[in-house]
Amino acid sequence: MNNKVKKFIKKAFLLFKAEKKIPIPSPINAQELLKGKVALITGGSGGIGLAMAESFLKSGAKVIIAGTNEEKLRSCCEKIGGGVDLSYIVINVKDIGSMPEKVKTAAEMFPENRIDILVNSAGVVAHADLLDISEQEYDSIMDINAKGTFFMTQAVAKYMIENRIKGHILNVTSSSALRPAWTPYQMSKWAVKGFTLGAADRLLPYGIIVNAIAPGPTATPMLGKNEGESIYNATCPAGRFSMPSEIAALATFMVSDMGDMIVGDTFYMTGGSGTITLHG
């Protein structure tokens, strides 16, 4: 079948396809962007993930933070408050077999009995150079950053499809995905960027919207920055580290209904690191 015939058939199909009536979205109060939504955030016990939890709560969502350390998760819930709208669950994203049951348990934590938003924020960074990294460190980074993101997305997407939930999935990648990949961390973030496009394509027909957010150098413990310390960064074009709260504010918009037309995109918040310069 040649291209002209294919185009004709496609036009004919679209011509006779019933037009859907879709309501025009209207602006929402910033404090109600996520009202009625339930969000599950892996890597939610620190850094960017915890900042997202705080931002989602302020925007009206109920939030479940996930991580591997129950004591730390409990402490984070006490620290940021949230009351009955905040809970936690222990999830190890390297334990693939447990994910479907963990997702089901998380969904039952609130009366809504659902998960509308997944944020894949669990991640680790490389500490060795190309010539020095061990197989063990390589496997650990790839298993958490890439493999964990893939199978957590799979588990939640299946749950959303089975329960007819039109939700959002947000992957946390990095400006490292713009640089030459000579560490497994950079490789894993390239993988997440590509997977975001693929998952968006595969899941959009079910009403599940997949995107990624890509921070540059951010003032988190992962980069040795603790709360209250200077955020000056001489290697970043903007001259400073990003703050987790800045990343979280953008993420909140992206997983809200106002972000429904952002599909398969990666939004960078880097202060120019990786965008106008490869370094930093």
Catalytic residue set: 185
Read off the DSSP letter of residue 147. I
Cβ atoms of 42 and 89 closer than 8 Å: no
Partners of residue 277 on adjacent β-strands:
273
Helices (H), the chain: 3-16, 47-58, 70-80, 99-107, 135-142, 148-162, 184-203, 244-254
Read off the DSSP letter of residue 31. G
Alpha-carbon gap, residue 157 to 209, rounded angstroms: 10
- Kindly tell me the burial class for residue 54, based on how many C-beta atoms sit within 10 Å of its own C-beta (0-12, 13-18, 19 or more): buried
- Closest by CA to 215, choosing from 271, 142, 256, is 271
Give the Cβ contact number of residue 75 at 10 Å. Answer: 13
Cβ atoms of 124 and 94 closer than 8 Å: no
Of all residues in the chain, what percent are helix, strand and coil, respectively (each to 5)?
Answer: 45, 15, 40
Alpha-carbon gap, residue 52 to 168, rounded angstroms: 14
Residue with tokens 């705080």: 54
Q: C-alpha angle with apex 143: 139 to 149, nearest 5 degrees?
A: 155
Backbone Cα Rg of the chain: 20
